[in-house]
Amino acid sequence: MSPAARVATGLPANPLAGRGLRLAAAAIVVVNGFFPAVWILLTSLKTETELVRKPITYWPRNLTLDNYLRAFTDQPLLRFLGNSLAVALASTALSLVVAALAAYAIARLNLRRRQLILTAIVASSMFPLVTLLVPIFETMRALNLLNTYTALVLPYTVLNLPVCTLVLASFFEGIPRDLENAAMIDGCTRVGALWRVVVPLAAPGVFTAGILAFVNAWDEFLLALSLNANASMRTLPVGITLYQGEFTFPWPTISAALVVAIVPIAVLIALFQERVVGGLTQGGMKG
Amino acid sequence: MADVALRGVSKSYDGRSDVLHGIDLDVRHGEFVVFVGPSGCGKSTLLRMIAGLESITAGEVRIGGQVVNALPPRSRDIAMVFQDYALYPHKTLFENMAFGLRLRKTPEDEIRRRVMDAAKLLRIDGMLDRRPAALSGGQRQRVAIGRAIVREPKVFLFDEPLSNLDAQLRNEMRSEIKRLHQRLGATIIYVTHDQVEAMTLADRIAVLSGGHRMQYDTPDAIYHRPATTFVAGFIGAPPMNLVDCRLDGDAADLGGVRVPLASRSLAGAARGAALKLGVRPENLRLARAGADIALPAAVCLLEPLGAEVLVTLKLGAAEVVARCPAAFREPPGTPVTLYVDPSHVALFDAASGTALSAPSAH
């Protein structure tokens, strides 16, 4: 690259300095993202006395797993975990199926009011959840669904649809139409071609949308608190608030419960990140 | 395998601009038919309508006697090879070829046999466990052809299958496709914009332009007896010379140069009518033979091709190209005498472009 081009692209003249800057920027992002999680992990391994000791210790002096034991025994944490998993997995699966069909229609069928539909989808995700809370609550009560998984799965699915649809549509658009045409000539119906060819090739998009939907459902607090108040139906975010007493704040125990809530997400992303990054569509078409 | 019949097939989008205008066409069982024309002439659209990938606005498509207008692609018993290969990137070559058979619940040993046979035929049998990404363009197109062959369909459709290959590979694959047709005896409809592919492969060629069928005939007839000035100009490289002229008695007046016409050429043309005279570059010669007439001309430009030289000459008010022996080396400006057999001359109506007479011999 010529010096002039470097100036034009905003890159520093010294490639070593450029590398240093990039590393520094990456470090800021990583520390910002991971520090809270690491801090929670360290706190969960400290005793309560060590936590309030001054000067503060960063690395726990006496490592202990008692907090985890307490987290699982003080409250039915395993039950919360199970509830969260069930609700998040079901709403993610449902979101993906419905969003895939919607996204395919947007990406492929020559819809007359495509732009209007896209705008409506984006607009529908702009209502603050608080404004939807009462109508959703009343609906679920009328349907006699309060304190069931369905009460959360349905609204989570609906809330996740806009982002899932948009992500999938943009991935579907990148898949050559002749691949589906080939599949339809080979013997698929249009829907068959969608499931057998388009969705597998849009795997990075499917995983991206799936992870977004799962994390959203996993984290959700307001609806979970309002719709499933019954102790046995609480999800993790709601359950974790129960560890604090009227006068006590057992931070190490809460931290242990938080770590339990973080681990499934971390595992999920670690498992699928390669698929999200990987380009599966290479090689089938020219170029 | 089966025959294909198109009856008044039209296509328009939004009921407005017509892309295809009432195309009539018959493809016989086992015939190799090529649709050729410039880009935008509607040839690919027509092929996709036969495949069922485009709806048919009006008219009828029949495959093996059955009207297939309302049938989805999977029910038409056709196979298609796409310009961009359209292989399934997530499947191995074997699975790419087996996909259609699996969907049709073909027994596993039958699938294996058919895929292996096709792979051997196309010389890709050593790489069946690879994915398309590991293949060159030519190999990918072989797989795409293999995917079509294993299905043993009624009709094969090829949509510009060689356009993405480099020149040498294209020639190779072209003769392979021709050999394949001889071996399988399959009904093939093949779309291309390349007139060399059309001439070399086809039993019959349909020349399309602006959504109209200009001519549908054997390569020989298309080349020697073009039905319109469009066909005359599109088929052949360099194309047929087309020169404005007026009918004057039994001769064409090229603006100072008179070309006597074979009497059969005159049918249907009024005296003084504006015509176009057509003659192929190889029929303009430098040496007299038989019934040739002599035309005074002057050399303008030489384009040596090795085996021969293309010579642009001034003839009356017009310029024509002659295919001359490689030894021809007269400098520009040199007056020469051109010889042409009147029976090699075609006449077209200048306004409509339709042929009034065709050359009788070739």
Q: Which residues of chain A does B164 touch, with a Cβ-Cβ cutoff of 8 Å?
A: 286-287
| Per-residue pLDDT at B141 exceeds 60 | yes
Nearest to A122 by CA among A152, A169, A153, A165: A165
Nearest residue in A to B155, CA atom? A185
Interface touch B51/A185, C-beta < 8 Å: yes
Q: Render pLDDT for B23-44 as a digit per residue (tens, 0 to 9).
A: 999 999 999 999 999 998 999 9
Helix, strand, or coil here: A185?
helix
> How much is the pLDDT for A6?
46
Q: Tell how strand B274-279 and strand B293-304 pair up.
A: unpaired
Helix or strand (DSSP H, E) at A178: helix A177-186
| Per-residue pLDDT at A4 exceeds 70 | no
Q: Tell me if B134 sits within 8 A of B92, measured CB to CB.
A: no
Taking only Cα atoms into account, the Rg of chain B, rounded to an integer number of angstroms, comes to 24
- Range with the poorest average pLDDT among A139-153, B204-218, B238-252, B299-313: B238-252
- Please tell me if residue B114 touches chain A, with a CB cutoff of 8 Å: no
Nearest residue in A to B159, CA atom? A178
Q: CA of A3 to nearest chain B CA: how many angstroms apart? A: 37
Residue with tokens 């010294």: A14
Nearest residue in A to B76, CA atom? A185
Peptide bond into A162 cis (omega under 30): no
Strands of A116-242, DSSP E:
none
Cα(B268)–Cα(B270) distance, integer angstroms = 7
From the list B88, B137, B147, which residue is nearest A197 (CB)?
B88
Tokens of B149: 């062959």
Q: Render pLDDT for A269-286 as a digit per residue (tens, 0 to 9).
A: 888 777 665 544 444 565
CA angle B158, B162, B163 (to 5 degrees): 110
> How much is the pLDDT for A32?
92
CATH number of B237-357: 2.40.50.140
Q: Tell me if A96 sits within 8 A of A206, measured CB to CB.
A: yes
Q: Which residues of chain A does B92 touch, with a Cβ-Cβ cutoff of 8 Å?
A: none
Nearest residue in A to B165, CA atom? A286
Q: Which residues of chain A does B131 touch, with a Cβ-Cβ cutoff of 8 Å?
A: 283
Nearest residue in B to A197, CA atom? B88
Cα(B88)–Cα(B147) distance, integer angstroms = 11
- Please tell me if residue B49 touches chain A, with a CB cutoff of 8 Å: no
Q: Tell me if B280 sits within 8 A of B236, measured CB to CB.
A: yes
Tokens of A168: 């999938």
Helix or strand (DSSP H, E) at A16: helix A15-44
Q: Render pLDDT for B317-329 as a digit per residue (tens, 0 to 9).
A: 889 999 999 998 8
From the list B51, B89, B137, which residue is nearest A284 (CB)?
B89
- Please tell me if residue A279 touches chain B, with a CB cutoff of 8 Å: no
> How much is the pLDDT for A279?
44
Interface touch A284/B88, C-beta < 8 Å: yes
Q: Tell me if B3 sits within 8 A of B27, measured CB to CB.
A: yes
Nearest to B49 by CA among B66, B71, B64, B28: B71
Cα(B255)–Cα(A38) distance, integer angstroms = 94
Cα(B245)–Cα(B264) distance, integer angstroms = 17
**Domain residues of chain B, as ranges?**
4-229, 237-357
Q: Which residues of chain B does A205 touch, with a Cβ-Cβ cutoff of 8 Å?
A: none
Q: Average pLDDT of chain B?
A: 90
Q: Tell me if A80 sits within 8 A of A241, measured CB to CB.
A: no
Return the amino acid letter for B350: A
- To test the contact with chain B by mutation, choose from A111, A179, A185, A280 the residue with the greatest count of B C-beta atoms within 10 A, namely A185
CATH superfamily of B4-229: P-loop containing nucleotide triphosphate hydrolases (3.40.50.300)
From the list B82, B90, B137, which residue is nearest A182 (CB)?
B82
> How much is the pLDDT for A7?
45
Q: Render pLDDT for B259-287 as a digit per residue (tens, 0 to 9).
A: 887 655 555 566 677 889 999 999 998 88
Q: Tell me if A153 sits within 8 A of A194, measured CB to CB.
A: no
Nearest residue in B to A186, CA atom? B100
Q: Tell me if B270 sits within 8 A of B247, measured CB to CB.
A: yes
From the list A187, A283, A285, which residue is nearest B74 (CB)?
A187
Q: CA of B100 to nearest chain A CA: how many angstroms apart? A: 4
Q: Which residues of chain A does B136 touch, with a Cβ-Cβ cutoff of 8 Å?
A: none
Mean pLDDT of B58-82: 94
Nearest to A130 by CA among A222, A15, A5: A222
Q: Render pLDDT for B290-311 as a digit per residue (tens, 0 to 9).
A: 777 888 999 999 999 999 999 9
Tokens of B155: 């009709």
- Please tell me if residue B80 touches chain A, with a CB cutoff of 8 Å: yes
Cα(A17)–Cα(B4) distance, integer angstroms = 68
**What pTM does this model have?**
0.81
Tokens of B242: 């087309």
Q: Which residues of chain A does B104 touch, with a Cβ-Cβ cutoff of 8 Å?
A: 187
Q: Render pLDDT for A209-253 as a digit per residue (tens, 0 to 9).
A: 998 899 999 999 999 999 988 888 999 999 998 888 878 888 889
Interface touch B99/A186, C-beta < 8 Å: yes
Count Cβ atoms within 10 A of the Cβ of residue A255 and give its class: 0-12 exposed, 13-18 middle, 19 or more buried.
buried
Interface touch B86/A181, C-beta < 8 Å: yes
- Please tell me if residue B89 touches chain A, with a CB cutoff of 8 Å: yes
- To test the contact with chain A by mutation, choose from B14, B68, B74 the residue with the greatest count of A C-beta atoms within 10 A, namely B74
Cα(B83)–Cα(B197) distance, integer angstroms = 14
Q: Tell me if B320 sits within 8 A of B312, measured CB to CB.
A: yes
CATH number of A66-286: 1.10.3720.10
Tokens of B240: 């047929």
